[in-house]
Chains A and B, each alone.
Chain A
Amino acid sequence: MPTKERSDDERERCVTGIDAIDHILNGGIPRGNTVLISGSVGTGKTSICVEFLIRGALNGENSLYLSVTEPTDKLLKNVIPFDFFDDRLAKQGKLQFIDLPRMYEKLGIDTEELDFDQTRLLAETIAGVVEEQKIRRLVVDSVTSVCYRIKDQERIRDFLLRLGTVLSAKGCTTLLVSEIRSSEEGYSRWGIEEAIADGVIVTGNLERRGDLLRTLQIVKMRGTTHSRAKYVLDLTTSGVLLVPLLKGGSVSGGG
């Protein structure tokens, strides 16, 4: 739970609209932060991100989902049918979906590995879209897949730093989805993503006496005090719900 009351000199917040996350973060993500949302498959990363965007769009903030791994049509079919979703958000341009492979095509990027210039061009193009469309919330799903094409560690660092700096300056709050294996240490494939990000939210699976629980933990968030406890997560049509992980039993290990 929050450990400190907010004072006037604290940073403006991007209220995610996911009540429990806003509560844990003492009012929301500090505006302009780039946050890594990291977890293995089936732990709820995409649902959290989609809800973050829909809630933003409903609140009048232009929101953009950059899909790398899955075509938008397929993504929308598979995502939870949220009660609060409103078709008009897309028609009004408040909620936009762009497939990154199409952006690659438009930019003439057809090589397997992005070189230095292509990496910069990609970062500038994303920043350009954010500027042009006055995007206040951005999701890149997943940054791991983007980095797979960049490959080189220096270029990954340059890409993430450049993107993070430009988006922050524009007041755009960004969620970067990081895909990790459940057995993996750290929160990202290359280790660079978590070091550069302003925040890290980890989703996972916790096995307890044969039960598999979905969990969420905020391990880092610059610009705010926050709880670092582990919570149990449920993905419902009313949105993402969280309750504290009970500690009374014999809980072993991570998740």
Chain B
Amino acid sequence: MRLKADQYFDTIQGMLDRFATKKDLEVVYVTSTIPSQSIIKALEVLEIPMDHIWFVDCISQIMMSQEKRHPHAIIVESPTMLENIMLKVEFLIRKHSDRRALVVLDSINSLAIHNNTKILSEFLHILVNNLRSRGAYTVIFSMQEYETDEIRNMLVLVSDESIELGT
């Protein structure tokens, strides 16, 4: 999903509300952009129920965030630990295997800050194909302002569809 920076919070809110609340999906939200606690606070203000939303937070630890951890958030030490992101996603999907899963990757651009293109392509390829084989949906956020040709090529390789917001 290609979005502009000023659409970011509206997109998160829309995605989570629509899929976790109205579509009966278990949502695994991988954040490497902002700490999960910031998103959770926004969801609380908007009264979006958290029952079926889980976070894999790869940024709080590296930011040395002192905020209290939410029981629906699992911490990955660093966005460079791509294998651990896959493992935590796998863990959450297994734990809630009674519902179909939607995995949101927020975002390819922030992961690209911490990882080189080669390892990031490999990560996406394995993660997306694994999720696909398990009947889970994957949505990858890409901020248009920070897209490079490499990121665009990477997304083309793993995506079935590209949705551009605001056009």
Contact = CB atoms under 8 A, between A and B. Distances in A.
Interface of A: 83, 208-209, 211, 213, 232, 234, 236, 238, 241-249
A211 B118 contact: no
Highest count of chain B CB atoms <10 Å: which of A241, A245, A249: A249
A241 B84 contact: no
Main secondary structure of the interface of B (DSSP, over half): helix
B78 A247 contact: no
Interface of B: 77-78, 80-84, 86-88, 90-91, 94-95, 115-116, 118-123, 126
B94 A232 contact: no
B87 A241 contact: yes
B50 to A, nearest CB: 20
A209 B82 CA distance: 12
A246 B121 CA distance: 10
A247 B122 contact: yes
Contacts of B80: 208-209, 211
Contacts of A232: 83-84, 87
A241 B90 contact: yes
Nearest to A243: B86
Nearest to A247: B122
A249 B119 contact: yes
Nearest to A249: B119
B122 A246 contact: yes
A213 B86 CA distance: 13
Contacts of A243: 83, 86-87, 90, 126
A234 B94 contact: no
A244 B86 CA distance: 10
A245 B84 CA distance: 10
